[in-house]
Structure 1
Amino acid sequence: MVTKDVAIGMIFLSQTVFGTLGNLCLLYLYLLLYFTGCRLRTTDLIVENLLVANSFVILSRGIPHAMISFGWQHVFNVHECKFISYMHRVGRGVSIGSTCLLSVFWAMVISPRNSRFAELKMKIPKYVGLSIFLCWILQMLINVIFPMYVSGKVSKKNITNTKDFQYCSSVLHDQTADWLYAALLSFPDVLSLVLMLWASSSMVLVLYRHKQRMRHIHKTNVSSRSSPESRATKTILLLVSTFVFFYTLACIFQACLSIISKPSLFLMNSTSIVDGCFPAVSPFLLLSYNSTTFRLCFAWISNRKSPND
């Protein structure tokens, strides 16, 4: 086995292990708090959904590439390739939609009371569950055609009408149909990205105005620390910025894969690694956002379990 392949396999394995543990551990904390009776926020439901989608993305992309890098060739049949690719596409789409929903929801929450979203932000918590459900249904329906483009590992005797992607291959169809299908798949992602950028701009504007107002307050009892809302807003802005960075980078690599008829192994590995960066990093960013909530809830649980004085 080539040393370079082992190094790439270790990168995929490390990303998969740490990313999966981060997402599942954070999801376990949420479930633990829920079943012990601690009241969670509306945004926590969105975060839980994001953690599940991230796990789908990491497992469906990291494990196959790690196995290939360590020398396990032809381990997936046609149906397994279709299922893994479908699970990755759905998980990726739901991850994008959840990040968008989280940023839009929080932009509504911190908007001023005299803004045009004053009435809407009172009603939006009621539709979070429905929005998450529709996000899953939409991604499952849009990507149902995707397995038709995926087949098993190509044979060296017949590579004229296929594009090799290591553990699976893609069947080449009519170019016009491919562009139309690519546009269909990209439309929800582009819409989510536009909404995220709008929500992020709104949050930055609110934080800037809040900071300007605080400059005019010179009372000694005003704490220099930011409010919980400001800290949460900054964390979500960091999460969205991280997503936009890795998503833009992944789109560039994906475009190169689409254009090049015979992509190199380095390009395919780089695309997969970049594609898994946000799902692997996001739970650790969210942990800082929810650290105060976890601390307070666990303190409340321990007080409930302690004997009465």
Structure 2
Amino acid sequence: MFSLNNVFYFQAGLGTLANIFLLFFYTAIILCHRSKFMDLISFQLTFIHIMMVITGWDIFTTDMFDLLNIENDFICKATSYIHRAMRGLSICITCLLSVFQAVTISPNASLLAKFKRKLKKYMIYSFFYFWPFNLSFSSSQIFYVGAYTNGSETNQMKVTKYCSLFPMNNIVRVLTSTMTTSRDVFLVGVMLTTSTHMVIILFRHQRQCKHLHSIRHLRASPEKRATQTILLLVFFYVVMYWVDFIMSSRAVFLWMFDPVILTVQKFVINAYPTISPLIQISSDNRIIVLKKYAKNMPPHF
């Protein structure tokens, strides 16, 4: 168990540090430099992932709250609510990132081109919709999650060392599951559609560049890099989502959590917020230039 906890801490630590680095980077870009609208979207996604990683491991949050002498019931409700809300926001903002890039790189003759002028306006409206919706939608966690007790009569389902799920009314359970699944399937569908659209545009652009090597091609390369990064993020998210969805569905319908499957599921849930900042750091040309500049600076004595 000791070695397993070390692995958990490593994943949580890696994800937290990578996201904090990105958070400071985007904050500096937004406040001090000429930022792109995509930086604002990425800033939100990075903040969401920090909260997901922190609340994703019960050993991490338990140790933190133990120092503050806070009751287990509050720990369970708070961490479960925040984590569920952040997971919902993660898929929403990732979808938003995919849509924004798909519209941005669309040719002027395409159907999506007419949205370019009002794109930022629509994106801002989406922010004001996604945050209140997910924060309110996840409020059920406050009522159906709490501290684990030894009483078998409650028919509770233990999911962590200190927390458990309490029995939920069948109608409420079906309604909640249906709404959550409908939201996720719709957003995943949008991501797959926009990703396909971006792949087609990149393929056409690549084919044209085989015959024409111009300044225009050089100018398009940063957009191409950003598009490839988003495609990689979307692909990774979709794979992780469906693995998590299959394991979660099994637990909810059978009303039991297998310890091994639960451990694997925790890794899967935290894989995207841990890996995505590493992908962004390694592909953002501004960070690459910053690294080269820092490397070439003469040492100070």
TM-score range (shorter-chain normalised) is 0.7 to 0.9
SS in 2 for 1:154: coil
The equivalent residue for 1:264 is 258
SS in 2 for 1:119: helix
The equivalent residue for 1:10 is 6
Contact 1:56 1:87 in 2 (8 A): yes
**Partner Cα distance (1:289, 1:133) in 2:** 29
**Partner Cα distance (1:119, 1:158) in 2:** 60
The equivalent residue for 1:22 is 18
Shift of 1:292: 2.8
**Partner Cα distance (2:255, 2:214) in 1:** 66
Q: Tell me which moved more, 233-242 or 207-216.
A: 207-216
**Partner Cα distance (2:34, 2:215) in 1:** 31
**Partner Cα distance (1:102, 1:67) in 2:** 29
**Partner Cα distance (2:71, 2:128) in 1:** 30
**Partner Cα distance (2:172, 2:116) in 1:** 41
Q: Go from structure 1 to structure 2 and tell me whether the alpha carbon gap of 1:68 and 1:27 turns closer, same or farther (over 3 Å shift).
A: closer
Shift of 1:243: 0.7
Return the TM-score normalized by structure 1.
Answer: 0.85
For 1:265-284, what aligned pairs fall within 5 Å after superposition?
A: 265-284=259-278
Contact 2:191 2:234 in 1 (8 A): yes
Contact 1:26 1:283 in 2 (8 A): yes
Which residue identity is paired with 1:82?
K
SS in 1 for 2:111: coil
Which residue identity is paired with 2:271?
C
SS in 2 for 1:118: helix
SS in 2 for 1:169: strand
Shift of 1:68: 7.3
The equivalent residue for 1:151 is 146
Contact 2:62 2:75 in 1 (8 A): no
The equivalent residue for 2:284 is 290
Contact 2:30 2:40 in 1 (8 A): no
Contact 2:51 2:82 in 1 (8 A): yes
**Partner Cα distance (2:229, 2:153) in 1:** 47
Shift of 1:260: 3.2
Which residue identity is paired with 1:288?
S
Return the TM-score normalized by structure 2.
Answer: 0.87
Contact 1:200 1:237 in 2 (8 A): yes
Which residue, out of 198, 202, 210, partners 2:197? Answer: 202
The equivalent residue for 2:299 is none
Contact 1:151 1:168 in 2 (8 A): yes
Which residue identity is paired with 1:16?
A
Which residue identity is paired with 1:7?
S
Contact 1:161 1:171 in 2 (8 A): yes
Shift of 1:159: 5.0
The equivalent residue for 1:89 is 84
Contact 2:19 2:277 in 1 (8 A): yes
Contact 2:154 2:166 in 1 (8 A): no
Which residue, out of 237, 240, 243, partners 1:246? Answer: 240
Q: Go from structure 1 to structure 2 and tell me whether the alpha carbon gap of 1:159 and 1:52 turns closer, same or farther (over 3 Å shift).
A: farther
Which residue, out of 38, 43, 48, partners 1:48? Answer: 43
More helix by share: 2
The equivalent residue for 2:177 is 182
**Partner Cα distance (1:230, 1:221) in 2:** 14
Shift of 1:213: 1.5
Quote the sequence identity (%): 30
Contact 2:20 2:50 in 1 (8 A): yes
User: For this pair of structures, how many residues does the alignment match?
Assistant: 288
**Partner Cα distance (1:181, 1:89) in 2:** 13
Shift of 1:197: 0.5
Shift of 1:112: 0.6
Q: Which runs of 5+ in 1 are unaligned?
A: 300-309
Which residue identity is paired with 2:17?
L
Which residue identity is paired with 2:208?
R
Q: Go from structure 1 to structure 2 and tell me whether the alpha carbon gap of 1:153 and 1:216 turns closer, same or farther (over 3 Å shift).
A: same
Q: Go from structure 1 to structure 2 and tell me whether the alpha carbon gap of 1:76 and 1:276 turns closer, same or farther (over 3 Å shift).
A: farther
Q: Go from structure 1 to structure 2 and tell me whether the alpha carbon gap of 1:153 and 1:223 turns closer, same or farther (over 3 Å shift).
A: same
